[in-house]
């Protein structure tokens, strides 16, 4: 599994290895890691949101915080950004933390943090521990 050492699922965690994303649920938080050199399309975004909704249903919770590591991600096309910023995509998301590092990942995250009007709180972090603290509050 290609994840940064500070962004790994705990052992014995159910991990969904999707075409463009690796995601899992741990400690009440939905974790997502974009894969390197992949083009994230709307169908991928919908699949990821369906998994988040399944976690919400299976854990009997309405709202789930999300931490998404986009440090290795590619810029998202407009239709994908539009889907992620839609009320349907945000239906079960309590808040959304981006983990960024490079200028490319900052560009990806800035589409949401600065350019989009989202129905949920969104914040950009370079430190996973700080993002986790923010999501737990």
Q: From residue 110, how far is each of 54, 56, 75 by CA, in Å?
A: 28, 27, 10
**Is residue 80 included in any domain, yes or no?**
yes
**Is residue 119 included in any domain, yes or no?**
yes
* DSSP tag of 84: H
- How crowded is residue 136: how many other Cβ atoms within 10 Å of its Cβ? 10
Q: What 3-state class would DSSP assign to 31?
A: strand
**Is residue 29 included in any domain, yes or no?**
yes
Number of domains in the chain: 1
Pairing of strands 15-17, 29-34: unpaired
For residue 66, what pLDDT is reported? 96
Q: Give residue 37's region: left, alpha or beta (phi > 0; psi -120 to 50).
A: left
Q: What is the pTM of this model?
A: 0.87
Enclosing domain of residue 57: 15-136
What are 100-130's pLDDT values in tens digits? 886 666 666 666 566 556 678 888 898 999 9
**Is residue 3 included in any domain, yes or no?**
no
Half-sphere exposure of 94 (CA within 13 A, CB side): 15
For residue 46, what pLDDT is reported? 96
**Is residue 1 included in any domain, yes or no?**
no
What CATH number did the domain enclosing 69 receive?
3.30.750.24
What are 62-111's pLDDT values in tens digits? 999 999 998 888 888 889 988 988 888 989 999 999 898 866 666 666 66
**Is residue 81 included in any domain, yes or no?**
yes
**Is residue 121 included in any domain, yes or no?**
yes
**Is residue 66 included in any domain, yes or no?**
yes
């Amino acid at each position: 599994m290609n994840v940064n050492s500070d962004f790994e699922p705990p052992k014995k965690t159910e991990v969904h290895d999707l075409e463009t994303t690796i995601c899992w649920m741990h400690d009440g938080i939905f974790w997502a890691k974009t894969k390197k050199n992949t083009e994230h399309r709307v169908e991928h975004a919908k699949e990821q949101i369906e998994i988040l909704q399944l976690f919400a249903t299976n854990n009997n919770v309405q709202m789930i915080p999300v931490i998404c590591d986009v440090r290795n991600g590619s810029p998202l096309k407009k239709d994908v950004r539009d889907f992620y910023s839609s009320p349907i995509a945000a239906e079960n998301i309590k808040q959304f933390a981006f983990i960024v590092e490079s200028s490319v990942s900052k560009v990806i995250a800035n589409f949401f943090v600065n350019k989009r009007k989202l129905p949920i709180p969104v914040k950009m972090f370079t430190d996973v521990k700080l993002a986790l603290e923010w999501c737990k509050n």
